[in-house]
Each structure stands twice: as structure tokens, then as C-alpha cells.
Structure 1
Amino acid sequence: MRYSPTRRRAVAGLAAVVGAAVFLSGCGGSTPSSSGKDAAEGYDPKATVEITWWTGQTTEAEKAAEKLAAEYHTLHPNVTVKTSAGATLTDDLLTKLSAGFTGGNYPDVSYAFGSWAGELANSGRTQDLSDYVKDPSFGWDDFPAAARETATATDGTVIGVPALVDNIALIYNKTMFDAAKLAYPTDDWSWEDFRAAAKKLNDPAKNFYGSAYSVSGSEDTTWHLWPLLWQHGGKILDGKKPAFNSDAGVAALETLRAMAVDDKSMYLDQTDEKYSPLFWSGRIGMIMSGPWEMLELANHKTNYGVVQLPGYNGNHETVSGPDLWVAFNHDDPNRAGATRDFLKWLTSKETDAKWNLSIGNLPLRTSEQSTPQFTAYVKQYPGGQKFFDNLKNAKQARPTLAGYEDMSRTVGDAIAKVLQGKAQPKEALDAAAKQSAGALEDS
């Protein structure tokens, strides 16, 4: 769950490239039955069973995952949780799942980026946890709404449970603000306030920039537009039809275009990999980013602050990029049932406090704010409390449908053209809507 911002953004681009091909090929091989019966029907909690967990973690976090798997086995001696490390880092998971679907060798549970959820739901290999999570003992409503929505396909099927929650806020460099004699941003800031501060912080002679934006065309480019779209009252989709090219979408993109083209106060990152390090080192005054930045900010001893995103007419809505533990069906009720019980334990208030909070992520559950681990987290990471509080502003989720990846890439390319002065917002978004309509209708 803890991974660098570079890795987070790079994988979104990878998913966009391989997504469609992966799940076309994934339809081959043997497919679990789709009789409509629950995958865990007939589950015997006392049966001896081994389940496979593709954790998608880096080496450090993988060690923590292995300890958790061993702890679960101690509590449930009849269940062995086999972790897969190294070969299943998140960067490779989508292609490996595809190969596994084709050959019938896929895990019982796997980490997955939320932007993949629609493709995975369309694979025919996932369990339906809809009834399972409704049990009061699961505490489904304890997870943020956007995370629950991401785990839920358009047909209402719940394919997994949240593995990571986050959101985008405004992170600012206090040292640069002090040098420019500017007051720090506040939670009440408008986009006009943001634009004005960026212009004052900008200093081309020193290679200082007021803010930054990705123009790689990846999901990192796209999902930063969604909060502005929602704040203006717009929608990403209307059913399965593109709706992001509405007046609200045009106004949202124009806000960014004015800063990038007219003011030239935005560092435009072609790779997704440069703007965070430039912020850590004090060359960019403000970035719109998430809690994954805080570990590197601490490592670089950056003097920073966090506030909610600038707002439009008082609306400070943000976007969340929840990731999932996706549960897969193998036509074995004991494996299915054991997988569900493991996920319930893994994402419980008690276990998650030892897992996500220990590696610097936000807690999965609202109730974790009362734990000692959360107290230690907000003390260790300035801004941790603000990111946690900002979850209330994540009121909508990215669509969980198979065509999202194609649409995201198309919208990302349109945004990049506009911010580089190669197109106007209206024409670019209209073209993106037309281009992505087919993929959405077929999803």
C-alpha cells in the first residue's frame, strides 16, 4: 500500500496502455461457473484450505504482509495464506492477472488500483461480495463512501473491499510562501486565490513555479480535473455517455488553461515523475496531491502545510483514488469463504491500524481515528489529520466500468493539449467525448 508517487502515477499509465488488451485475452481459458449461486455457498469454516494473496507490495511492506498472513494462520490454523511477493508488484499485476485468467492460475485475492475495477468486474472471475458486506459485523459503512463505490460495479456487484483510501488536497511549501511574503493557503481558498498566489510564487529566472500539473496524458492528468468538474456541478458520465464536455467541464479546464498558458505559472510535467521531487526540493510552491507525498516530504525535511482543495462557490469537493483487495472465484466454496473471512479480518479496525497506519497510509475505517496508531500517525506526518478530514469532501467516485481506462487516456490527452496551448477546452473535450463514446457503450 505504501508506494512512491512516481510509482502510483506510472502504473495508472501502464493500466491505460494494457487494459483493453488484457481483458480481451483474459476471457480465454476455463471460467468459473456463472450459475448465479453464491461463490461461498456450502462453505465450511473448519475446512483445511490454502488461499493465495497477491499483495502488490514493495519489499518493506511485503514483510509486513507476510507477518499478517502468519498471524492469521495462527488464529485460524486450518487456513494458510500464501503471499506472492516480488513477481506481483502492482506494476505487473494487471498483465499477470490476465495471464492467470487465461491459464486458470490466478489468486484468491489481489491488490488492484481502483481505476482497474471496471475491467476486473468485467472479467467474469470476481466474487460477488454484495450480501457478505451487508452483514452488520463487517462494518461496510465504516469505509469512506468513495471507496465503497469504487468496489461496486455498475450492476451493483461488490468485487472486493477497500485496500487503500486517499484523496487530493493542496500541499504548499511554507518556505517559498515565507520568501514571497505571502499568507499561507486556507481551507476557504477559491481557485482565484490559488491562481493569484501561483503567479506571485512564479519566478522563471530562478526556475521557481507557482504550481504544477501532469501533461503525460495518464490517469494522473485526468483525475486532477474531476474535482473541478464536480465543483462546477458537472458529471463524468450520464449513464454510459460522456458528460465531461459540458459547460461545467469546459469551465473547469479553462481554470487550469489560464494558469498554464496565460500566466505560465504551472510546471507542466511530461512524465508524471518530476513535479513531486521539484516540490520536495523547494522549486514548486503548491501541488495538488495526496497523502502518499508525506513520507518523501519528511525524508527531505520539507516545511509544508496541507489544506483542502480550492473551491468554486464554496464547494471544495475532491477526488479519491481508492485501491482494492479484489476477491476471485475458483468454484471452490471453501476457498471463497476463507478469502472473505481473511479480508474481513485484514480490513478490520484492529488489523488495519497495524497495517496501513504503520506504513504511512490513511486508515481504511473512520473508527480508526480513536486508535493509538492514528494518534502516532498524525504526529509523525504533518498533514495526516487534514487528509483524513478531507475524506468528507470525496463525495463521488470515478466510474467503475470497463470503458473507464480508454476514456481516461482520451481525456488525459485532451487536457495535455489544452495546457500546452495546442487546443481550446471546448474543442478538446468535445473531441475526447466523441472518441471515447464507443468504448463506454461497449463496456
Structure 2
Amino acid sequence: MISGCSKKTSGTTSDQSTDVTQGGAMQEETTGKTGSAGKKEVVIWDYFETDAQKEMMKTLIDGFNSSQTEFVASHVYVPFADYEKQLTLGVASGELPDLVILDGCDMASFISLGLFGDITGQTTDIEWNAYIEGPLSSTMKDGKHYGVPFATNCTALFYNKDMFDAAKLAYPDENTTWAQFREMAKALTKDGVIGFGNAGTNTDEGTFQCLQWIYTAGGSYTDIKGGVKAFDLMQNMIEEGSWSKESVNWTQSDVCNNFIGENLAMMQNGPWQIPGIAANAPDLNYGVTVLPKFDENSGQATSILGGENMGAVSKDDMSGAVAFIKYYDQTDIMIKAMQQYGSFPPKTEAAKDSYWTSDPIQKAFITQLNTSIPRGPSALWPSYSAAIQQGVQEVMTSAKTPEKAAEDTQAAVDAVE
């Protein structure tokens, strides 16, 4: 483990990137300029692997280090597979960084473990109401702030325009109901093409995609029986052949590959797939809209939030962590970072930037974010997720009726303690 406490340093590199490998060894590389002696370190952990993500972090850290003279920031790469383990060990040993970037659905459990500290009193100058409600709530507990939303995304409905045109069907839009969506999928299921597919794999990735249907039906992650009509829809469409039976095994990448291959007319997926579609299928004529709503009297469908939060680690001196959070809170800084990252900014005003709103595909995700909610938030989220995904698997494979699956899943989530 690498200790990143706020302490006086000498000759520190301003953007020092340290790699903690699975074996615990460190691979260190330096990028950027050397900081002045006497500055306090601000160490950030992340699990970012792509070149775009690394460049985004370099830009953020260089910008922060150039913006003030009291602190010098650096970041440590920890492999995603080891992330929770390293954080849990760090809580026990006290060897932790100043800031942690982590999946938003994991933050509640680490707040409960005592990893993150209350920064409410040190951030009174942050306009918290400028943040999108869902991402913001995932960084809070009992009205207190423990960090800031870093990046946000959700899933929406992709559709193949050429297939809709050939079938003489109107494109789905914000008024499309479940009944209309089902009829569209049936009409498009022919000649080796299946109307719709999503990721129902037996992991939290599957919960991320499937839980929104339960919410849209009137349920929640603790009220499965209230959303039983979602199980009805899934099973009926799979048995009709208009919702791919392979969804039970598919990851989100699998779903996108089948959409690119024109094996699916519609898919549920996220904005991170857009660059891959552009690179691998530049001529694919497709659109994106919000997910179908329950019925004509319902509001916009719910989607489930993805993305990361940046939590401030609980320490006697959290001034460096707070300073970096305030730097990132600046709208122009956030916009630039998310453009590099390929995600959406969690502030309402930042998300209105023309970079996203001028593109109809990106704009559809911004609209969907308005009714997106976090997984949980709950310190026991992994247990809830496992119970929900078991129910989804049973429905998709017709191992149980929707009613029986909802009853058993409800019992499983009720048993989570």
C-alpha cells in the first residue's frame, strides 16, 4: 500500500503517476514539472486504464498544481480488480491517499466503513444544488457531503434507423410506451434480426441495465414486487423472440457488438459505446432516445446512473482533498475533463455545454440523466444487486414465472441486513 497523507515534501513531481500492481509492486512514472519544496501532497487513487482517461487525469493534476502554491497533486493507479481490496486494507492500516475516485455505487459502503470524511463544513462555497440530484445523492449520507460526483452516465435506447424505415415504423421517442416498444420489437424481429437486447449477465453490470425496468414499472431495489410488471415484460418478449434470449449472458459490450453487427434493431446501452460505433461501424445509421416509459400516463422512464465519485478520505488534515474538489467543481474545468474522458459532467449547467447539447445522440443521454437514479445508495448494495440479478436470471430463462421470481427476489432483498 502507498501512503498518501498530507505531509511536507521536497522535490515532489507535480504529476507523479504511481502504478500499484496486483502483486503489490510499484511502477512509477513521472509526467509534468517538478513542484516546489514545502508543498503538501494530495494523492489521488484511480483505476483508469485508457489513454484518454490517463490524459484527463494528467490535465486535471497539472491544472490544479499550476493554479495554487500550497499543494502538489499526484495520482496512483490501482487495478480495478484489486480496488475494493486495497481500499479495505487501507481502512484497516491507515495507509490511504487523500482522494479516491471510485464507482458511485460503492461509495455508500465505504462511507459506512469510515473511509471518507465529512467535508460539509469545508465546502460551504460549493453550490451543491448545481449538481444533478442522482449523482449528488450517491456522495452523501444523512445530509452530509463526503465527496463530489466526478463523472456520470446512464443507459438509453439505441435504434437502427434503416431497420425502422424498412419496416415503415416511426422511430421511438420520449412518448414511446412499453406496449408500443413491444410492438416495435415484434415487428422488427425477422430475417435473423431480433428486435431488442440488453445486458442481463449475472453481475452488477446486469443489475445496472435491468433494474431500471423495475423502477419504471413502479418498484425499486427494495420493492421488487412493486415492479413485477417489468418481469412480465422481459419474460413475455423473450418468449416471443423479440427480446434476445442471449441477454441473460450478454455484457454491455456483447450487446453493442450485436447492434453493430445488425443482429439487433434496438439495444439498451450507454454513451461509452459511441466512440466504438464510430470507429467500427461509421456508416451505421442509428439514433438514441430515452428508454420507453411504462404507459401514456407515466413520466419519463427511469435509468440507472453509472460513473464515478471522488471521495475525500477521512484524515486530520483534509485541506488538500478539499482544495482539489473545489478546483474540479469549476464548471469549465469539469467540462474539459469530461470531454477528454468521454462521459458527462455531473453538474446541470456543465451538462448544458454545446459539446453535448448540439449532438442529438449525446443530447438524448442528457435528457435521460434527468430521471436517472443511483444504485442504492446503500452500504449493502452488493448483496441487493446479487439478489436482484438472481431474479432477473430466473425470469429471462423462464425458470420461474414473473410472479414467483418477484416473490422470491423480494424475500431475498428483505433478508439483506
Q: Does 2:386 match 1:409? A: yes
Structure-2-length-normalised TM-score = 0.83
Matches of 1:404 and 1:68, distance apart in 2: 30
Match of 2:322 in 1: 340
Structure 2 counterpart of 1:142, from 105, 118, 130: 130
Q: Cα offset for 1:422?
A: 0.9
Matches of 1:67 and 1:322, distance apart in 2: 19
Q: Cα offset for 1:209?
A: 1.4
Matches of 2:122 and 2:165, distance apart in 1: 52
Match of 2:202 in 1: 217
Q: Cα offset for 1:321?
A: 2.5
Note if contact 1:79-1:338 (Cα within 8 Å) is conserved in structure 2. Answer: yes
Note if contact 2:185-2:243 (Cα within 8 Å) is conserved in structure 1. Answer: yes
Structure-1-length-normalised TM-score = 0.78
Note if contact 1:209-1:267 (Cα within 8 Å) is conserved in structure 2. Answer: no
Note if contact 2:199-2:210 (Cα within 8 Å) is conserved in structure 1. Answer: no
Match of 1:427 in 2: 404
Q: Deviations over 1:106-138 (max 9, x none)?
A: 2211111122122211211211123344x2x31
Q: Cα offset for 1:382?
A: 4.4
Match of 2:117 in 1: 127
Match of 1:36 in 2: none
What's the secondary structure of 2:162's corresponding residue?
A: helix
Q: Cα offset for 1:317?
A: 2.5
- Counterpart amino acid of 1:100? G
What's the secondary structure of 2:349's corresponding residue?
A: helix
Structure 2 counterpart of 1:327, from 305, 312, 316: 312
Note if contact 1:146-1:322 (Cα within 8 Å) is conserved in structure 2. Answer: no
Equivalent residue runs for 1:232-381 within 5 Å: 232-237=217-222, 243-244=223-224, 246=225, 248-269=226-247, 270-272=249-251, 273-299=253-279, 300-301=281-282, 302-313=284-295, 314-319=298-303, 320-331=305-316, 333=317, 336-369=318-351, 374-379=353-358
How many residues get paired? 373
Note if contact 1:168-1:318 (Cα within 8 Å) is conserved in structure 2. Answer: no
174-183 or 308-317: bigger deviation: 174-183
Structure 1 counterpart of 2:145, from 150, 158, 166: 158
Q: Cα offset for 1:328?
A: 0.6
Residues 322/67 of structure 1: CA separation in 2 closer, same or farther (3 Å cut): closer
Q: Which has the higher contact order (CA 8 A, sep 6+)?
A: 1
- Counterpart amino acid of 2:354? T
Q: Cα offset for 1:348?
A: 1.9
Matches of 1:377 and 1:214, distance apart in 2: 25
Note if contact 1:180-1:201 (Cα within 8 Å) is conserved in structure 2. Answer: yes
- Counterpart amino acid of 2:159? Y
Matches of 1:91 and 1:111, distance apart in 2: 14
Note if contact 2:221-2:388 (Cα within 8 Å) is conserved in structure 1. Answer: no
99-108 or 118-127: bigger deviation: 99-108
Q: Cα offset for 1:52?
A: 0.8
What's the secondary structure of 1:249's corresponding residue?
A: helix
Looking at secondary structure, tell me which structure has more helix per residue. Answer: 1
What's the secondary structure of 1:277's corresponding residue?
A: helix
Q: Tell me the percent identity.
A: 22
Match of 1:182 in 2: 169
Match of 1:228 in 2: 213
